Amino acid sequence: MNECVYIHEFIDIIGQNRANYMHHITANWSPIGQKERNQLCFGVFGTVGSTRLWPEVINIWEHANWTELADNFEHEFSHPTLQDPALAEWWAEAANFRSRGIDRILVAAPWTRTITELCADGVTGTTYAHELVAVKPGTASEYLDAVRDIAVHAYRERGIEVTAAWRTAMCGESECILMWAFPDWRTWSSFEAEQLSDPLLVGWTRATEGIVTQMNRWLMVDAPLSPLRAGRQPREEDRASYQLPTRQG
């Protein structure tokens, strides 16, 4: 049973620095997070601009439970600067690549897989759909049960694999986030083209129409060192594995 808690980050990128930032966050930060905070990288993704804001990166971090997340926050915020002094150089470099971020805390649906389990099962995608779903207050868990019972089958029939199903914490059970892995771009295009004609997809939408108040879906592509692409967590030796573009502001 997945009892993990996640940090989900929307990151605004400065200029053409998305590749710089993705390498900095995976190769330079993730090994530190794993060692000092028991924080695993679930994924680092660049959004497909035609479907979402750009340039943008989405980071997702996995903690074993609420206690470990609290320990992570204590580690970070028990300093006058509200930053870990040991990471001052890392923060300074990151500021060259991104301007701001908006975060959420997510709680996994118990039936989903951790990032370690997903990598062990060989789950990967050419692109991923990120679905941000607003639901009536108090119904997020009910919606995730419907995802398990209906949506997973409907998507899998089209070759699409569920990678995550979360409810957003601290908002009265009023929001969920789903992630789906598409094996190729044509699978995605046929999925979108047949939203109103595939009986399974239509059935899924109608099954939750009394719960969902708004849904937005966009595409993402994972960074070279993101676990679902690499099949493992980033390592310290990865720092030299990617030739960064020239910094542009």
Tell me: pLDDT of 248 over 60: no
Q: Coil, strand or helix: which one is 128?
A: strand
Please compute the mean of the pLDDT values over residues 10-24 and round it to a whole number.
96
Total length of the chain: 249
The token pair at 108 is: 């996994």
Question: With 0-12 CB in 10 A as exposed, 13-18 as middle and 19+ as buried, what is 249?
Answer: exposed
- The angle formed by the CA atoms of residues 72, 81 and 107, to the nearest 5 degrees, is 25
Comparing CA positions, the residue from 119, 227, 224, 126 lying closest to residue 183 is 126
Pairing of strands 40-47, 212-222: antiparallel
List of domains in the chain: 5-229 (3.30.70.100)
In the block, tokens 């035609």 appear at 50
DSSP-assigned states of every residue in 78-125: SSTTSS-GGGHHHHHHHTTTEEEEEEEEEEE-TTSPPHHHHHHTT---
Q: Coil, strand or helix: which one is 244?
A: coil
- The angle formed by the CA atoms of residues 148, 9 and 44, to the nearest 5 degrees, is 80
Residue type, 179: M
How does pLDDT run across 106-162, given as a tens digit for each residue? 999 999 999 999 999 999 999 999 999 999 999 999 999 999 999 999 999 999 999
Please compute the mean of the pLDDT values over residues 169-195 and round it to a whole number.
98
How does pLDDT run across 18-28, given as a tens digit for each residue? 999 999 999 99
- pTM of the complete model: 0.94
pLDDT-wise least confident of 29-38, 89-98, 179-188, 239-248: 239-248
pLDDT of the residue at 84: 79
CA distances from residue 244 to 22, 88, 150, 208 in whole angstroms, order as listed: 10, 21, 43, 44
Omega within 30 of 0 (cis) for the link into 55: yes
pLDDT of the residue at 98: 95
User: Rounded to 5 degrees, what are φ and ψ at 98?
Assistant: -140, 155
How does pLDDT run across 185-196, given as a tens digit for each residue? 999 999 999 999
Please state, in angstroms and rounded to a whole number, the distance separating the CA atoms of residues 23 and 225.
7
Tell me: pLDDT of 100 over 70: yes
Please state, in angstroms and rounded to a whole number, the distance separating the CA atoms of residues 132 and 177.
5
pLDDT of the residue at 160: 98
pLDDT of the residue at 242: 56
DSSP-assigned states of every residue in 143-177: HHHHIIIIIHHHHHTTT-EEEEEEEESSSSS-EEE
Tell me: pLDDT of 249 over 70: no
The token pair at 188 is: 């995605």
Tell me: pLDDT of 180 over 60: yes
Q: pLDDT > 90: what percent of the chain? A: 87
Considering the chain, what is the average pLDDT of its residues?
94
Please compute the mean of the pLDDT values over residues 209-216 and round it to a whole number.
97
Choice between 160 and 248, residue whose per-residue pLDDT is larger: 160
Q: pLDDT > 70: what percent of the chain? A: 96
Please state, in angstroms and rounded to a whole number, the distance separating the CA atoms of residues 158 and 200.
10
